[in-house]
Structure 1
Amino acid sequence: MAVVSRLLAARAQEQPEEPAFIAGADGHAISWPALGAYAERLRELAAARRLPPGARIALVVADPLDFAAAYLGGLAAGLTVVPADPRLPAPALDDFLTRLRADVVVTDAPLSSPVAGVEIWVAEHAAPVPVGAAPTGVRPSAGAVSRPAVLLATSGTTGEPKGVPLSQAQLLHAARRVAGHHRFGPGQRGYSPLPLFHVNAQVMGLLAALVSGASLVLDRRFEPDAYWSRVAQWSPTWLNTVPAILGALAAQPAPPEATVARLRFARSASAPLPVPTRDAFTAHTGVAVLNTYGMTEAAGQITADPLDVSARRAGSVGLPVGVELAVAGPDGRPVPPGSQGMVVLRGRRVTDRYLELTGHGAEASRSARDAHGWLPTGDLGWRDEDGYVYLVGRADDVINRGGEKLHPQEVEHVLLGHPAVGSAAVVAAPHERLGQVPVAFVMLRPHRTEAGLVEELDRLCAQRLPRHKWPAAITVTAELPTSPTGKVLRRALRADVAALAGGPVPGGGR
């Protein structure tokens, strides 16, 4: 019997009357016994449809309670769960299903052009309902080289996405470390409007609740105007957020003290948290921010701030939690404290394989680790004498300006120090003489004006940055391309900049 199945049975026996997950918008809830019953019906359905163990079941589900039930039910039934973004347009969804070789799609919305050979099940509260007879012939996942508990795709913010297979043991190891570090348990309740197809919301939310007996309030999306009223209604003890949410809430009316009285922290994940964003949120709301760092390949969380606010360090993402972490130099060897290098990981919950998501031919995989068992994260950073981790940016985001290298984050943090700037992103633009120069894009905070802003930001950068780090151009934009978790898609920005680079970059000689 799958471990998740045993955990569901234990929760149903120990907490039969308590809600496991609550829909923040309408108050509908699902209990632990109901989740166990859903998993049993899903197991029976899979057997009736002759699905082999590890068959890939894609979840294209927007309703958070239906997603939670199908996710845990699929794990309990021994299937491979493949979470998908329900907002994908039809061509992109078809491509996703083909690349990840889904056998079944569970969906709560009509699919306009389902991939041939893929079985369609309609999501219902009690259990999915198949649409028509099971397809005949070879299933898409036949010949799969991996049949994990969950198959995720990396975000693809800097390149083509890769498949990350994770076992139940890896997922639950991560969830237990999360629950232990954050002191979850019966009586603790989280509030999360984050997308459930992302590893953070699955492990930090669904699985951490399962292993600890905590409850979780879920919303389909972040709604700034409704956020604090939901917190007041459901009285959570912690918030699951991303930097974009914290920044948006800092611009909303401040919540009453009674609304935030039970909150122990707002947890920030999924994207780098600028210190100005953290400080503005805490000053505005009175809620401390617990910063974390994670990635799909490590089943979510890698490091986290200590729970003790006085032990947190500005600019740090905290200490490793249940994973071995080092900072390696160009030769692959760990470097001493204070020295910058590549962040590398190893441990029982770190994936050791990637799947190549081509969607055609024989499925292929490749090693995710080096000869010493380390997985390179692609993130550059350093550690202090006490082991706290500080990130400076992605290795593939480094800008080489005439031989002098700089990281976008250090420029972005300066730009975010201006009170009118709500978001900022810096990328490389091609330059005929220097090779590359940094260019910046900024979004205004609500009720702020653009007049004179570029000149003020130029002066701010000149005051706080060495000359080679000054942006060659600063553009005020209405929006930045972001992932569903609020991470800036630098690849998209770089492509736009390259497409527009028909002449010298404005200000490129500075």
Structure 2
Amino acid sequence: MTQRTTLAQLLADPQSAAPAVITESPPVVLTYRALAEQIERLAEQLRSAGFRPGDCVAMVLPNGLEFLVLFLALAQAGLIAAPLNPAYKTDELRIFFEDIQPRAIIMGSSNAAVIEAAAGLSLPIWPSNVESSGAVRLTGVPQSSRSIPGSPSADDFALLLHTSGTTSRPKGVPLTHMNVLRSALNIASHYALTAADRSLVVMPLFHGHGLIGAALATLASGGAVIVPPRFSASQFWGLFRKYGASWYSAVPTIHEILLQRADTDGAPDHGARFIRSCSAALAPAVLANLEKRFGAPVLEAYGLTEAAHQVASNPLPPRPHKPGTVGFGTGVELAIIDQTGRHLPPNHPGEVVVRGPDVMGGYRNDPQATAAVFMDGWLRTEDAGVLDDDGYLALTGRIKELINRGGEKIAPAEIDDALLEHPAVAEAAAFGVPDAKYGEEVWAAVVLKGDADAEQLQAFCRTRLADFKVPKVIRIVSALPNNETGKIERRFLTALFAPQS
């Protein structure tokens, strides 16, 4: 096979009659040949929409066949897919739409928040659906005499993801065909994925973990992806058995839920070739319990949106996988630097930096942030860690203030802004508190200027934020800790309230 350079060449064998995508809603087993034909049909429709190469199209879709088909069709047509969380509320979507400036929005089942957010922005909405036969349809796409010529190149952008920052507007991360393809191929190679493997996808496809780490890596290796619309603990093992899954990848929260329910749900004690964990730290004790109960090696990995997901992972046996580490670099170089940027030897803690072909070229329309995140060609992760003598990386904390709730990276400033919209709130600060289930939970402290209680403020947040961002606990305080420049010292709030969690 010729060397693959774009996502148009992702599929291991486009002519194969082997299963590629398996869904239950609707019940469909789509072969590689049928998948390739659908991608080409929809790509041709998209090429004739009158857009220019590199135009963005937002996708607000749940997990399913239509997400994968439409994402690959957009890439093949030379357009940039910008997937968004379908759980976002109107105000959140409007912020993203204003930042992305998409030429159109693809929407699945009627989503009032999408319709409302698009109103006033003159953005066309293209509804999509999956027929009972498994055919994905896209309606509302105009047909122009001007079409996008040729095929995309390796350096063309294919995917626009967002990573939360320290402001309420997350930074856009444009990834090229080569970024995404290299990452998917590296993951497939690292875990020795073959056509015999089947991945049960439980992570959202609008994140790199689900899209690249679980789905595209499998399709690049000729295996099959089993894609339920959402994670359901009660249905997980039934699907795993029914379709012969050989592995799955998830955040620690999902692993712990499956472990807690294992005996009740009649979970098997063998059958998985391996289990992957990523997007948040997995406690070594939980890793050991997972391996004991499910009879498979549990491999912890480390991913970054800016590097098209995976940058490190523990290996398959017989090589050692070390609990408490995220393994060694996969397709990229890892290093540790001190505060001056000097590279440190093994066993010296500092900031993790990454470089390689999977790494983005820079943030979208943000040269200042791009200049700050790169140092001599290395991407600064703002994660603290240490490399051992074997090159295995242990993450020891986060330099940045993001709250990592079950793998969802949440910007505290976004929650601050929502709380400050309440007429009774004078000051607000969100912060992370250690949590046994999610790794971190969202808490907030507020200074009031009127009458309100914590429950009223939580209800107010629910109208403006996705449920996972709403503070679990809100403490009413007389003042917030600020440094000499007026910035909130969130770590003091965590230290103060963490014992109460």
> Scaled by the length of structure 2, what TM-score is found?
0.74
**8 Å CA contact 2:183, 2:309 repeated in 1:** yes
Bigger shift: residues 156-165 or 210-219: 156-165
**Structure 2 residue ranges without an equivalent (≥5):** 145-154, 406-411, 413-430, 439-457, 482-492
Structure 1 residue aligned with 2:382:
378
CA contact (8 A) 1:379 1:394 kept: yes
Q: Identify if the C-alpha distance between structure 1 residues 444 and 45 changes in structure 2 by more than 3 Å, giving closer, same or farther.
A: closer
Deviation at 1:105, TM superposition (A): 1.0
Once residues 176 and 437 of structure 2 are traced to their aligned partners in structure 1, the CA distance between those partners, rounded to angstroms, is: 43
Partners of 1:163 and 1:270 lie apart in 2 by 18
Change (3 A) 1:41 1:279: same
For the structure 1 residues 159 and 247, does the alpha-carbon distance in structure 2 shift closer, same or farther, using more than 3 Å as the test?
Answer: farther
Change (3 A) 1:156 1:34: farther
Q: Could you say what secondary structure the match of 2:374 adopts?
A: coil
Indicate conservation of the 8 Å contact 1:5/1:36, yes or no: no
Pairing 1:117–2:122 present:
yes
Q: Does the 8 Å contact 1:184/1:212 carry over to 2? A: yes
Distance in 1, Cα, partners of 2:478 & 2:284:
32
Match of 2:210 in 1: 201
Contact kept? 1:254, 1:285, Cα under 8 Å: no
CA 83–503 in structure 1, closer or farther in 2 if over 3 Å, else same: closer
Q: What's the offset of the Cα at 1:62?
A: 1.3
8 Å CA contact 1:355, 1:365 repeated in 2:
no
> Is 1:185–1:214's contact at 8 Å kept on the other side of the alignment?
yes
* Distance (Å, rounded) in 2 between the aligned partners of 1:37 and 1:326: 43
- Name the CA distance, whole Å, in 1 between partners of 2:472 and 2:230: 28
Deviation at 1:33, TM superposition (A): 1.9
CA RMSD of aligned residues (A): 3.8
Q: Partners in 2 of 1:335 and 1:494 — Cα distance?
A: 39
8 Å CA contact 1:337–1:383 kept in 2: the answer is yes
Deviation at 1:26, TM superposition (A): 5.5
Distance 1:356 1:54, change over 3 A: closer
The residue correspondences of 1:90-129 to structure 2 (distance < 5 A) are 90-110=90-110, 111-113=114-116, 114-115=118-119, 116-125=121-130, 126-129=135-138
Specify whether residues 102 and 253 from structure 1 end up closer, same or farther in structure 2 by C-alpha distance, changes over 3 A only: same
Residues 419-430 of structure 1 aligned to structure 2 (within 5 Å)? none
Provide the rounded CA distance (Å) in 2 between the counterparts of 1:6 and 1:151: 19
| Greater relative CO (CA pairs within 8 A, separation 6+) | 2
Deviation of 1:84 after TM superposition, in Å, equals 0.8
Shift of the 375–159 alpha-carbon distance from structure 1 to 2, 3 Å rule, reads farther
Conserved in 2, the CA contact under 8 Å of 1:228 and 1:255? no
C-alpha displacement of 1:227 = 1.3
For the structure 1 residues 343 and 506, does the alpha-carbon distance in structure 2 shift closer, same or farther, using more than 3 Å as the test? closer
Tell me the distance in 2 between the aligned counterparts of 1:75 and 1:439.
37
Q: Tell me if structure 2 keeps the 8 A contact 1:295–1:301.
A: yes
**Residue 353 of structure 1: how far off its partner (Å):** 0.6
Matching residue of 1:263: 272
* Partners of 1:171 and 1:299 within 8 A in 2: yes
The residue identity in structure 2 corresponding to 1:4 is L
Decide whether aligned partners of structure 1 residues 506 and 186 sit closer, same or farther in structure 2, where only a CA change above 3 A counts.
closer
Q: Which structure 1 residue ranges, 5 or more long, are not aligned?
A: 136-145, 358-362, 399-407, 413-426, 428-437, 446-477
Q: Does 1:324 align with 2:326?
A: no
What is the letter of the counterpart of residue 6 of structure 2? V
Match of 1:60 in 2: 60
Letter in 1 for 2:51: L
Cα displacement (A) at 1:506: 12
Q: Which amino acid aligns with 2:297?
A: A
Number of the residue aligned with 1:3: 6
Change (3 A) 1:441 1:300: closer
